[in-house]
Structure 1
Amino acid sequence: MTTTAMKPSARRLPAWMLPGVAGVLLLVAMALSTHVVVIGSSADQREEAFSPDAFAAGAFPKIAAWVDSHAADAADLARGLASDRDATVAKHGTPGSIGPELAVRFTGTLGEPQRGIYPVSVAGLPDGQHIRVQMGPAINGTDLRDVTGTIAFGQFRNQIDYQNAAAAINREMKKQVLAPLGTASLSGKTLTVTGVLQMINPTSWLVTPVAVKMP
């Protein structure tokens, strides 16, 4: 007579233990996937919410210093762009996708504004060359952010933060430069302006200031 050995069947956990085991497995999975960030570390700083105003407060003085050190007299800048554009951009600005960002300085008399933008009469400019300067209350564009070439999209989490940085830098400039002037009634006054323009139209420059002085 032949006998067949019976294999022991796998033991099953009692039903009442299953929820507890599942809970343990869940805790293990959570522990393995948890990213620990040490307070004060570089990772902690990266994960903080972006503050455009804090960024601008640190960035604007550096931008203003860069523009001041690279600015060309407006008449010289116009002639340089006409004779050797590439060399002039390399010396006084930063190439851009639409047009180069350029640092400029001029002394001129302000005309009547339109929506916070003043035409400026500047001696020595080539015929047909026009300069306007935006004095607020609205300061538009990204020229201040872009002129140095050191603030790039890759430094920010997304396009919104990148745009907010530009707007905050404009606000910081208004606070530091324009607010002390009282820009509502500057027509007829002579000012020395150091600022930034993006050269889209070679004969019509819109300048965003980083410094304004009354001679």
Structure 2
Amino acid sequence: MSTSPPAARRRVPAGWVATAAIVALLVAMAVSTKYRSVEAAAAAAPKGFDPAAFGAENYDAKVVPAIKGNAVELPALLKAVEEDKEAAGQKYGKRAGTGPYNFAVKGTGTAGKPTSGLLPVDVPGLPDGAKVYLQIGPAINGTALRDSVGFITFGQFVNQVDFADAATALNDQMRQKLLNGLDIAALDGKKISFTGAFTLLTPATVTITPVAVS
């Protein structure tokens, strides 16, 4: 009886094996990959700083109550500054690093004629020569509203631009909420009360950003 030799095993070309492995990998990647729409991707992306939203969320709810709650009578504050500027700053003020102190203040006096965006107020009991002005716009300058409360700091922001925009947003809120409804011209010669904040540059001239005028 004759026996025939076993059939030779067919070898699979190495190129086919590599190709099959790549195809399998691509299929696995396709199955495991989640595809999102452009809208979904945009919604999930990190959001940039929104100054308008920051102002709207913080002005009425946090900044105004903090300034009103910490406001010092202006004549008493300026007398304390005159006696010891650093001690007065540490007791009543807020500041970032070695920058100037910012104070929340209140007072009563007689309003003068508004000029160049400022309303002069004759406040009794001030140190000799001291002058007081309220910012009435349209341009509202400075960072007193931001820096006088103590809980808004540079470390909360990505960069200096956003930090500056936060101050501008609070000033914008003040203009919208207070100044737009105030008849400034009608205040000339009348007794008014005010609450606000200022940055101490010189005690001889105090320029206050108000949050309340009545």
Q: Structure 2-normalised TM-score?
A: 0.75
2:9 is aligned to none
Shift in Å, 1:198? 0.6
Q: Deviations over 1:76-125 (max 9, x none)?
A: 01111122333322332202443100111111122222221112111111
Map residues 88-103 of structure 1 onto 2, 5 A cutoff: 88-96=88-96, 97-103=98-104
Map residues 9-24 of structure 1 onto 2, 5 A cutoff: 11-12=14-15, 24=26
Instruction: For structure 2, list consecutive stretches of 5 or more residues without a partner in the other structure.
Output: 1-12, 34-39
2:159 is aligned to 158
Report if the CA contact (8 A) 1:70-1:103 is conserved: yes
Q: What percent of counterpart residues are identical? A: 37
Task: Output the CA distance in 2 between the equivalents of 1:160 and 1:81.
Answer: 31
Report if the CA contact (8 A) 2:103-2:148 is conserved: yes
> What is the letter of the counterpart of residue 106 of structure 1?
G
2:213 is aligned to 212
> What is the letter of the counterpart of residue 50 of structure 2?
S
In structure 2, the CA distance between the partners of 1:14 and 1:186, relative to structure 1 (3 Å rule), is: farther
1:118 is aligned to 119
> What is the letter of the counterpart of residue 74 of structure 1?
L
> What is the letter of the counterpart of residue 60 of structure 1?
Y
Secondary structure at 2:106 match in 1: strand
In structure 2, the CA distance between the partners of 1:184 and 1:158, relative to structure 1 (3 Å rule), is: farther
Task: Output the CA distance in 1 between the equivalents of 2:88 and 2:183.
Answer: 34
Q: Structure 1-normalised TM-score?
A: 0.75
Secondary structure at 2:182 match in 1: coil
Shift in Å, 1:145? 0.9
1:4 is aligned to none
User: What is the aligned length?
Assistant: 194
Instruction: For structure 1, list consecutive stretches of 5 or more residues without a partner in the other structure.
Output: 1-9, 32-37
Secondary structure at 2:187 match in 1: coil
> What is the letter of the counterpart of residue 53 of structure 2?
A
Task: Output the CA distance in 1 between the equivalents of 2:114 and 2:183.
Answer: 14
Report if the CA contact (8 A) 1:110-1:189 is conserved: yes
Shift in Å, 1:14? 9.4
Report if the CA contact (8 A) 2:114-2:184 is conserved: no
Are 1:86 and 2:86 matched, yes or no? yes
Deviating beyond 3 angstroms after TM superposition, the runs of 4 or more aligned structure 1 residues are 10-15
Are 1:137 and 2:122 matched, yes or no? no
Shift in Å, 1:60? 1.2
Task: Output the CA distance in 2 between the equivalents of 1:195 and 1:128.
Answer: 21
Report if the CA contact (8 A) 2:198-2:207 is conserved: yes
Shift in Å, 1:54? 1.8
Q: Deviations over 1:2-29 (max 9, x none)?
A: xxxxxxxx945699x59x76x949x69x
Report if the CA contact (8 A) 1:193-1:211 is conserved: yes
In structure 2, the CA distance between the partners of 1:101 and 1:111, relative to structure 1 (3 Å rule), is: same
Shift in Å, 1:55? 1.3
Task: Output the CA distance in 2 between the equivalents of 1:57 and 1:168.
Answer: 8
2:47 is aligned to 48
Shift in Å, 1:169? 0.7
> What is the letter of the counterpart of residue 91 of structure 1?
K
Report if the CA contact (8 A) 2:114-2:185 is conserved: no
In structure 2, the CA distance between the partners of 1:48 and 1:79, relative to structure 1 (3 Å rule), is: same
> What is the letter of the counterpart of residue 84 of structure 1?
D
